[in-house]
């Protein structure tokens, strides 16, 4: 069980004692938590909930009473009443806890510690509290934790100009993920590793975010590496996703930044829906566990897969996808925010070059002509799991439609340990072609 869930259990037990035994037991409550908490973090969280709830109990009860139709709060079961107090306190006073996490945790406590119908009752009350009293601003900042484009650094600072002289020689890996999406290495760690193995160029292609690009570019000169500003957008085409890589995008482009925020919010919502499906399959993981793992990064299926493995439901990330969350899995939830055509248009509007990612995995070759019509300008012909025959096929398709050719490892660090950085590379003269295309693109956008 997670630390915060343990803390909530202790806080609930302590509040129950307080109500039964009276105000004289406040110090005993902290001693109780200290005795039964297995770790300091659990104790501290439990005490923070208790100390937060007790001074505002009257206000919490008033809020609960205002939405609990036909229920006098003092006639509610003691457990239910204190579960609601804890949850409403979190909803109204704790900006560090996503509202939906507070609600889900309260429902879980009701199911485990109260009557058969308590979960439904608690859910109904908290849903009304959420709608009536939780301000929209808090929902945006706490539940969705919308990132700046700079992943925690100053979003208004100008990114450094990459050293284009590095493109005169050496190799490039144009498909690299950091911990700003679902990789395990930080942007600087990726740049350092690229330098260590002799790469001259890398593209930071995090999923639906450019948060790691500036960070990587700021340290690039120190490691003598050229960092391409890029991202990987997930477009939905029934019944699966088609990923579009965008190279040399303007990471300050307003339309791109606004769409990234929307995509982040939708990723959070998607996690909740996937968790619902998993719990219906009797796979007991929670959204909070996913968000604790992803931190400020864009949450995705890789994070879900890792939690499934940590909790013992799968032996490997590959098994997690195959058993539950692949495009055809029982807990799959598609991201329907944008289509691949929308992704292409967005990348072009931000001055970038749209490229079809890993076509052998996407298995939608029949769509390539229409994607080209929609503005597609490149194809990832070089990719770790693409056979020589597939590679030859996509090179032929590139020649037929006048598409640029790219390639990369799709590096994710420890989440894909079988794939190393630089496992697949292309010559830097390919990157020069992308730059030329992007410059033409930017000129057209300005016109």
Question: What mean pLDDT value characterizes the chain?
Answer: 87
Same domain, 122 and 177: no
For 191-249, write each residue's pLDDT tens digit.
999 999 999 999 999 999 999 999 999 999 889 999 999 999 999 888 778 999 999 99
* The pair of three-digit structure tokens given for residue 287, joined into one six-digit string: 């959204």
CA proximity to 342, closest of 367, 375, 366, 301:
375
Residues 371 and 197: their CA atoms lie apart, in Å, by 35
More confident residue, 238 or 113: 113
Same domain, 414 and 373: yes
* The pair of three-digit structure tokens given for residue 141, joined into one six-digit string: 């900042």
Q: Which CATH number characterizes residue 88's domain?
A: 1.10.940.10
Same domain, 67 and 174: no
Contact 133, 91 (CB under 8 A): yes
Same domain, 131 and 243: no
Same domain, 137 and 167: no
Q: What share of the chain is helix, strand, coil (3-state, %, to 5)?
A: 60, 10, 30
**The overall pTM is greater than 0.85:** no
- Domain holding 268, by residue range, is 149-447
Q: Which of 94, 121, 143 is the last residue of a domain?
A: 143
Q: Which CATH number characterizes residue 265's domain?
A: 3.20.20.140
Q: What is the pLDDT of residue 403?
A: 97
Same domain, 114 and 176: no
Q: Which of 143, 168, 201 is the last residue of a domain?
A: 143
Q: What is the pLDDT of residue 197?
A: 95
Same domain, 166 and 243: yes
For 37-75, write each residue's pLDDT tens digit.
778 888 888 888 988 888 888 999 999 999 987 788 888
Q: To which H or E segment does residue 370 belong? A: helix 368-373
For 118-167, write each residue's pLDDT tens digit.
888 998 899 888 888 886 444 444 444 444 444 444 444 555 667 777 88
Q: Which of 114, 143, 172 is the last residue of a domain?
A: 143
**How far does Cα 326 stand from its chain's mean position?**
17
Same domain, 117 and 160: no
| Number of neighbouring beta carbons within 10 Å of residue 261 | 17
Residues 346 and 234: their CA atoms lie apart, in Å, by 12
- What is the number of structural domains in the chain? 2
Same domain, 48 and 136: yes
Same domain, 193 and 173: yes
Residue 389's pLDDT band, with cuts at 50, 70 and 90, is: very high
Same domain, 94 and 218: no
Same domain, 99 and 205: no
């Amino acid at each position: 069980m997670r630390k915060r869930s343990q803390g909530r259990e202790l806080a609930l037990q302590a509040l129950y004692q307080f109500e039964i035994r009276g105000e004289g037991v406040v110090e005993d409550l902290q001693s109780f938590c200290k005795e039964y908490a297995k770790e300091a973090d659990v104790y501290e969280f439990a005490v923070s909930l208790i100390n937060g709830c007790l001074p505002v109990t009257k206000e919490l009860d008033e809020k609960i009473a205002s939405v609990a139709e036909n229920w006098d709060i003092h006639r509610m079961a003691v457990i239910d009443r204190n579960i609601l107090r804890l949850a409403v306190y979190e909803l109204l006073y704790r900006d560090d806890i996503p509202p939906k996490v507070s609600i889900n945790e309260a429902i879980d406590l009701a199911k485990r510690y109260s009557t058969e119908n308590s979960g439904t009752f608690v859910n109904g009350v908290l849903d009304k509290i959420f709608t009536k009293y939780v301000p929209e601003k808090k929902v945006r900042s706490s539940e969705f934790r919308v990132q700046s484009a700079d992943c925690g650094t100053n979003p208004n600072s100008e990114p450094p100009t990459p050293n284009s002289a590095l493109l005169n020689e050496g190799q490039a890996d144009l498909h690299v993920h950091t911990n700003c999406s679902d990789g395990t290495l930080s942007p600087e760690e990726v740049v350092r590793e690229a330098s260590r193995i002799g790469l001259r160029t890398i593209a930071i292609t995090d999923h639906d975010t450019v948060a790691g690009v500036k960070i990587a570019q700021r340290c690039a000169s120190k490691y003598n590496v050229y960092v391409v500003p890029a991202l990987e957008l997930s477009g939905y085409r029934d019944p699966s996703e088609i990923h579009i890589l965008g190279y040399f995008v303007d990471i300050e482009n307003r339309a791109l930044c606004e769409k990234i925020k929307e995509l982040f919010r939708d990723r959070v919502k998607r996690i909740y829906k996937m968790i619902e499906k998993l719990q219906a399959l009797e796979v007991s993981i929670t959204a909070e566990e996913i968000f604790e793992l992803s931190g400020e990064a864009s949450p995705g299926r890789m994070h879900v897969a890792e939690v499934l493995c940590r909790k013992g439901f799968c032996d490997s990330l590959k098994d997690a996808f195959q058993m539950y969350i692949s495009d055809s899995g029982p807990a799959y939830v598609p991201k329907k925010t944008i289509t691949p055509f929308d992704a292409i248009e967005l990348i072009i509007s931000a001055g970038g070059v749209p490229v079809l990612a890993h076509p052998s995995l996407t298995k939608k070759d029949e769509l390539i002509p229409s994607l080209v019509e929609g503005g597609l300008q490149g194809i990832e012909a070089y990719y770790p799991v693409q056979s020589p025959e597939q590679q030859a096929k996509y090179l032929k398709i590139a020649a037929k439609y006048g598409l640029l050719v790219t390639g990369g490892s799709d590096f994710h660090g420890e989440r894909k340990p079988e794939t190393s950085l630089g496992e697949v590379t292309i010559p830097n003269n390919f990157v020069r072609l992308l730059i030329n295309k992007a410059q033409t693109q930017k000129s057209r956008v300005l016109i």
